[in-house]
């Protein structure tokens, strides 16, 4: 079951904020008025009254919790919605650049500031560039976040043939790095240059994705995984709408492959 965390945070902020406001405007004045009208009638009650550390009446538990959690939830919502969001790599589609279990920070304002939950852009900042790694919601699974590399911008002509990428008729340079493992290799590792981005890609020695050609429509982007022969991407399910962009992947800050292993901080790095 997928949990819509932004929606949960918005509801939490709304509920705790409403409780706090209702108490501040309606309930707290009534408590103070009732408390001020209460006067001790015996010496014992007078002694207890004088021993009280505060002249304020005690708040209901639900109000105490609302006042405690509201600022925390609000700060988390603002940071996660407008600044940075954590993301974990769930599959191997971005190998060798990103591994299963890598934890990333996604820059939420790199491509514009959007409202939480509904995703409406309220301020333009920048647009995706070829070669950048982007988190988005794909057309066939709009409830899930995917991560791939930006290959095609609106209006671009993309061709993938013989495991070579062509953008607007220009071949993207590839440089051989290695074949792994050394005995009976299963993968070929290459450095590929797209625009100002040089990144590492992986090809299978046993099977390959079918060739194809695409023209990117306006307001959309063509995405591909660096694990070229083991990636479900725009070659399979089509283009990514601008309105479904989540943010730009910027840095790997931790690697934690599974619950049964220890997290590692030795491979922290910028994403390129």
The catalytic residues are 93, 148
Q: How far apart are CA 149 and CA 176, in angstroms?
A: 20
Find the radius of gyration of the CA atoms of the chain: 27
| Chain centroid to CA 17 | 25
* Alpha helices in the chain, H assignment, sequence order: 5-22, 28-37, 43-51, 61-78, 234-237
> What are the two backbone dihedrals, phi and then psi, of residue 164, each rounded to the nearest 5 degrees?
-115, 140
Q: How far is CA 214 from CA 29, 36, 93, in A?
A: 66, 76, 21
Backbone angles phi, psi at 30, to 5 degrees: -65, -40
Residues whose CB falls within 8 Å of the CB of residue 156, separated by 6 or more in sequence, listed in order: 167, 168, 215, 216, 222
Structure tokens at 165: 């990428």
> How many Å apart are CA 92 and CA 74, to the nearest integer?
34
In 3D space, the residue among 73, 116, 108 whose CA is nearest the CA of residue 87 turns out to be 108
Provide the angle, in degrees to the nearest 10, between the axes of the packed helices 5-22 and 61-78: 140
Cα dihedral sign for 142, 146, 152, 158? negative
Residue pair 83/108 in contact (Cβ under 8 Å)? The answer is yes
């Amino acid at each position: 079951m997928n949990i819509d965390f932004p929606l949960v945070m918005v509801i939490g902020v709304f509920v705790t904020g409403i409780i706090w406001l209702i108490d501040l405007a309606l309930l707290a004045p009534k408590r103070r008025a009732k408390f001020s009208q209460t006067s001790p009638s015996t010496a014992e009650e007078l002694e207890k009254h004088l021993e009280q550390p505060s002249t304020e009446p005690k708040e209901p538990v639900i109000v105490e919790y609302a006042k405690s959690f509201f600022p925390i939830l609000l700060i988390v919502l603002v940071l996660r919605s407008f600044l940075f969001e954590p993301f974990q790599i769930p599959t191997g589609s971005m190998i060798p650049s990103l591994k299963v279990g890598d934890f990333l920070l996604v820059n939420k304002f790199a491509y514009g500031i959007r409202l939480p939950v509904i995703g409406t852009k309220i301020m333009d900042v920048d647009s995706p560039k070829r070669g950048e790694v982007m988190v988005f919601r794909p057309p066939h699974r709009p409830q899930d976040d995917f991560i791939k590399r930006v290959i095609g911008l609106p209006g671009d002509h993309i061709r993938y043939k013989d495991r070579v990428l062509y953008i607007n008729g220009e071949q993207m340079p590839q440089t051989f790095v290695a074949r792994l493992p050394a005995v009976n290799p299963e993968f070929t590792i290459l450095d590929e240059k797209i625009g100002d981005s040089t990144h590492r890609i992986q090809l299978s020695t046993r099977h390959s994705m079918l060739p194809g050609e695409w023209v990117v429509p306006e307001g959309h982007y063509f995405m591909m995984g660096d694990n070229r022969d083991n990636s479900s991407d725009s070659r399979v399910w089509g283009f990514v709408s601008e309105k479904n962009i989540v943010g730009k992947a910027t840095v790997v800050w931790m690697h934690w492959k599974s619950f049964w292993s220890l997290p590692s901080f030795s491979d922290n790095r910028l994403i390129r």
